Amino acid sequence: MRGRDIDIDYMRECGFKKLILIEEKSGLDIILPDENFGYHNVAEILGADKVVSAIDVESQEENLVVTLGQFVKYMDSPQPRDTTINIISLEFSKSAMSKLVEPPLVVRTLSWVDQYFQDDEEEPPESPYAKPEVQKYCLMSPENSFTDFHIDFGGTSVWYHIFKGRKIFYLIPPTDENLMKYEMWMRSPPAEQSSTFLGDKCDCYRLELKEGNTILMPSGWIHAVLTPQDSLVFGGNFLHDLAVEYQFKINQMEDRLETPERYRFPHFYTVCWEAFQDLVSRLEDFRDHPKDAPKWLLKAVSTLYNTLQENSSDSVSQEELKRRKDELTPHADVSGTLKKTREFMKLFATHMNFGAETIKTENA
């Protein structure tokens, strides 16, 4: 597709269920560094002594620690590489490099983090009110790097631009059957998991990306990535209105798999409550003409309501309930927002076949 065709109206109309490939960046309103930018520039800006986590591709464990200076030497060395080291978790949104990169405009428009959180240097990153740092990643991968099948944290959607090199994606749609197979595969012993190519057990599609390509990947897609050529990629993650169901579905899967916090979306429920309150307030605009309320808005609100109201469910542990409560911002009006939602959904359900039947009515 052409970048100029990808705007918020298009995304709401199509629902953003399928991966979108944009072959060249024109019209995307994306900001990227000069074409001569390379690994050494990353080290110069962020600091050659900056310590980063890296993946040992053979073991698929993120158990290596290197400095950016060491990694640049590794990439530039003419000697054969004894190990394959992949850096895919270098987030730089609060660094001097941030001004060189901005996601496509449609991503910035959709992103809950961009909409509801301001940059605040006074809030420590561990604070539930701090802006999650997930929008801008720099991925630096040598030839033959491979990242095994995974789903991006919290069911986030992804923007991904090939600045240098090439990538091959193996993509599995997030059907219920495929998600079940993925969860079973994730539960299997490490030796069995590493020897099983999940793509052989599901409908799997291959997509080769070259320099200059950008993709927008919807929520929940299972994917593996092969690097056939040294590459430099910019990308990021975002929660948004059009994928609420899958965002909760993947977050709940992460709960079941006991995914470590470092691999979870930071302050997931804080972000969801901020979005929920705003989306409910938008329904006010349609009080006098409920037939005009867009279905994407009603669906987002009803799904958020159904999940966030579970404050006494047997399916949620007391520890988890406490964590969710601790993540609420001081201005979160929990009872007021839930009450207003029930009122709105009943109103809209009298005018269209959507709404009240889709929400649970406990405490109604």
Per-residue pLDDT of the chain (364 residues; tens, 9 = 90+): 899 999 999 999 999 999 999 999 999 999 999 999 999 999 999 999 999 999 989 888 877 899 999 999 999 998 888 889 999 999 999 999 999 999 999 999 999 999 998 876 566 666 666 889 999 999 999 999 999 999 999 999 999 999 999 999 999 999 999 999 999 999 999 889 889 999 999 999 999 999 999 999 999 999 999 999 999 999 999 999 999 999 999 999 999 999 999 999 999 999 999 999 999 999 999 988 888 889 899 999 999 998 888 754 555 667 777 777 777 777 778 888 889 988 888 888 765 444 444 545 444 3
Strand, coil or helix: what is 37?
coil
Alpha-carbon distance of 41 to 34, in angstroms, equals 11
Q: Please tell me whether the overall predicted TM-score, pTM, comes out greater than 0.75 for this model.
A: yes
Amino acid at the residue 165:
G
Secondary structure of 286-320 as H, E, C letters: HCCCHHHCCHHHHHHHHHHHHHHCCCCCCCCCHHH
Kindly list the distances between the CA atom of residue 48 and the CA atoms of 21, 36, 40, 84, 96, in Å, as whole numbers in the listed order. 34, 19, 9, 20, 14
**Listed residue (15, 14, 19, 8) closest to 214, CA to CA:** 19
> Which burial class, exposed, middle or buried, applies to 298 when counting CB atoms under 10 A from its CB (0-12, 13-18, 19+)?
buried
For residue 326, the one-letter residue type is D
- Considering only CA atoms, which of 7, 267, 19, 254 is closest in space to residue 160? 19
